[in-house]
Structure 1
Amino acid sequence: MPFLLRDATLSDLPAIAEIYRDSVLNGVASYEIIPPSEAEMTTRFCANTSSGYPYIAAVDQNGALLGYAYASAFRTRPAYRWMVEDSIYLAPAARGLGIGRALLTALISRCTQLGFRQMVAVIGGAHPASIALHRALGFEETGLLKGSGYKHGRWLDTMIMQRPLGDGKDSDPDPSVYPGTLFEV
């Protein structure tokens, strides 16, 4: 299936909200139980993008949203400002077609260009396909939170994976490169 990656826009929010809704109701990637409204998803999108984090959409030839990925602050304490957390969600029909890999590859590249030094994946349900995708793109397992969520009538584990970006921890970051406004130093 041919697709294009581009920056997500406000006009993508109805489709983003629907993809996320399906993941909340039917999956374990998110530990939310009740899908947020489109208005709430818009608030989250605006907060994230206005803080300098990338938000990428995958669309088909007709412009229909197939999936999206974004980076966000892993934690809001200032010393964490060089680490981002990735999130990837795909429409059910878009799974298993390489779209998630393309989104994550682009997200890694964008975050590296922006000067971030680490990317962490917090994988709900320790989902095997997500773990395999992250491993294939250079992430290493750094922890497993056992029984950390309860959803769909069962306890779920959460896998933590991490990947260095750029020089990672091998050199000091350049404060002038960091574009985000979330942190004040």
Structure 2
Amino acid sequence: MQIIPMTAAHRDAVLEIYAAGIAEGAATFETEVPTWEQFDAGRAPDHRFVAVDDDGTVLGWVAVSPVSPRSAYAGVVEHSVYVAPAARRLGVGRALLDAIVASSEAAGIWTIQSGTFPENTGSRALHRSAGFREVGIRERIGRLRGVWRDVVLLERRSPIID
């Protein structure tokens, strides 16, 4: 497996993996897959990667978005990480998180945050293994298909950026 920068050439595979996560209903509030243009516009171009196998098949992806345009939050991003169902529990998610941590720290980003549904124990364990901590639970923060949902707020504060 290799971790490489995500490009438009990966669009179909990235959106297919995202669609699988949406369909499962345990990873996001989104209910429809965005167009590539929407996906691309919402994510920082220097901080998005795909994991590919030896044949070039995309196994998963990770990307960040700024949390705010305010200068005080310039070093805070929110990330998403998705792994193809057939590639789960093979170290893909951890490799992607390691890549986004290295990329963001090199750019002076001091905090990476994300949210996950409380029952997504796999994601929670993955994030803890990569140095994220659970900050707390944001209760009834949004609705998914008409049902209020809680979200566990996760964050990783860089130990090397003052």
TM-score by length of 2: 0.89
Return the match for 2:58 from 61, 65, 69: 65
Q: What SS does the aligned partner of 1:102 have?
A: helix
Amino acid in structure 1 at the alignment position of 2:17? I
| Structure 1 contact 125–156 (Cα < 8 Å) conserved | no
| Structure 1 contact 13–42 (Cα < 8 Å) conserved | no
| Structure 1 contact 72–85 (Cα < 8 Å) conserved | yes
- Work out whether 1:135 is the aligned partner of 2:128: yes
Larger radius of gyration, structure 1 or 2? 1
Question: Structure 1's 141 and 47: CA in aligned 2 closer, same or farther, altered over 3 A?
Answer: closer
Structure 1 gaps of 5+ residues are 172-185
Q: What SS does the aligned partner of 1:57 have?
A: strand
Structure 2 gaps of 5+ residues are none
- Work out whether 1:84 is the aligned partner of 2:84: no
Return the match for 2:14 from 16, 32, 35: 16
- What do you get for the CA RMSD once the two structures are aligned? 1.9
How does 1:12-161 map onto structure 2 within 5 Å? Answer: 12-36=10-34, 40-50=35-45, 53-125=46-118, 127-151=120-144, 155-161=148-154
Identity of aligned residues (%): 31
TM-score by length of 1: 0.79
Count residues in correspondence: 162
Amino acid in structure 1 at the alignment position of 2:8? L
